Structure 1
Amino acid sequence: MATASVPAGGHGDPTRRDFLMVATGALGAVGVAAVAWPFINNLNPAADTLALASIEVNVKPIEVGQAITVKWRGKPVFIRHRTEKDIKEAEAVPMSELPDPQTDDSRVTDTAKKVRREWLIMIGVCTHLGCVPLGNLPGQDKGPYGGWYCPCHGSAYDTSGRIRKGPAPLNLVIPQYLFLSDSLVRIG
């Protein structure tokens, strides 16, 4: 049997060529990352968008029965200081009558899991085609359920913002919010 001779710098002994291959590969990977980073970083939200990620609203001036609209992420947000009548009406609705069943308590609970029945905070965009329902300003038609009414297609929401009648498939959306104090709420 003939034995094979192992050339110098052979098996198990790194050669200059091996070093150059590894160095070239590493340098290529760094180059690809350096070229790709601006494109990847461009996918991050802009600074003005991040600034709008959350807003703080002073709710102290909102009297019982009154509602305001604030803008958050380019959408209207309805904040209503509900009356005892509004709360009782919302709590009395049987879940079987709701197309998108949600309890009133689940709609007035902040991210700290604290229920504040007197405050209803929701995105004021109809879930049918994105219209802004009426009922948040004095004198506007609140619809047959005393909440909000979208005259474009006839969707009617109750005093908890739940869909009761019309083509809208879902309740008005409740954003994440947190009461920082009794008079200050952070949305987002």
Structure 2
Amino acid sequence: MSVNEHADPNRRDFLYIATGAIGAVGAAAFLWPFIDQMNPDAATLALSEIEVDVSQVAEGQSITAKWRGKPVAVRQRTAKEIEEAKATGLSDLKDPVARNANLAGDAPATDVNRAAPGKEAWLVMVQVCTHLGCIPLGESGVYGGWFCPCHGSAYDTAGRIRSGPAPENMAIPPFEFTSDTTVRIG
């Protein structure tokens, strides 16, 4: 009779399982710092929502706020700018989708779907060119909206791409007016 014939198979199975469990716990403890470092830091989380005072923004003026490291244009458009944007048909746009985080993903890029609900004079938009991430100049270009001098993308007064290499309209972030003079972005 050999020694292997008297070995207890239940004890051997327990040792295999216990060793595997300790190895898995050890691997998880070793990997956790690497996984945890991928979470955003406190400074980023603090900027996930900002409030902007727009009481000093007159008709035809804009201000730029920084949200999540990106410039956000908050503009009070003139009646002429609103009428020009409303008169533009969807067939005239390169991108027919609103790109508004407050609406369904397939909402059409009408002026109403790009402006603030109930406050059509206000436009809150991430001011980053959708071509290569440049910062377009405001109140510029053929359409009187934004113009990216780097590659020639021209946006209208509602931030919709009209000409140039940019493929999409500038994004509308999640926002809401908490009062007549304060907009919360994020």
Band the TM-score falls in, shorter-chain normalisation: 0.7 to 0.9
What is the CA–CA distance in structure 2 between the aligned matches of 1:8 and 1:81, rounded to whole Å? Answer: 83
TM-score (norm 1): 0.80
Q: Secondary structure at the match of 1:179?
A: strand
Of residues 59, 76, 82 in structure 2, which corresponds to 1:87?
Answer: 82
In 2, Cα distance between equivalents of 1:150 and 1:108: 21
Aligned to 2:39: 44
The aligned residue for residue 103 of structure 1 is: 110
How high is the TM-score relative to the length of structure 2?
0.81
Conservation of the 8 A alpha-carbon contact between 1:82 and 1:118? yes
Q: Is the 8 Å Cα contact of residues 131 and 152 (structure 1) preserved in structure 2? A: yes
Please state whether the residue corresponding to 1:146 is helix, strand or coil: coil
In the alignment, residue 46 of structure 2 is paired with which amino acid? A
Q: Is the 8 A contact 1:98 1:162 kept in 2?
A: yes
Deviation of the 1:115 alpha carbon: 4.1
SS of 1:180's equivalent? strand
Check conservation: 1:105, 1:115, Cα contact below 8 A. no
1:29 aligns with 2:24: yes
Give the equivalent residue in structure 2 for 1:118: 121
- The alignment yields a C-alpha RMSD, in angstroms, of 2.2
Distance in 1 (alpha carbons) for counterparts of 2:24 and 2:137: 57
Q: Do the aligned partners of 1:75 and 1:123 also contact (CA within 8 Å) in 2?
A: yes
Identity of aligned residues (%): 61
- State whether residues 145 and 157 of structure 1, in contact with CA within 8 Å, keep that contact through their aligned partners in structure 2: yes
Equivalent AA in structure 2 for residue 50 of structure 1: L
Structure of larger gyration radius: 1
Any stretches of 5+ residues in structure 1 without a counterpart? 1-6, 136-140
Structure 2's unaligned 5+ residue stretches are 1-5, 97-108
Distance in 1, Cα, partners of 2:167 & 2:31: 42
How many residue pairs get matched?
170
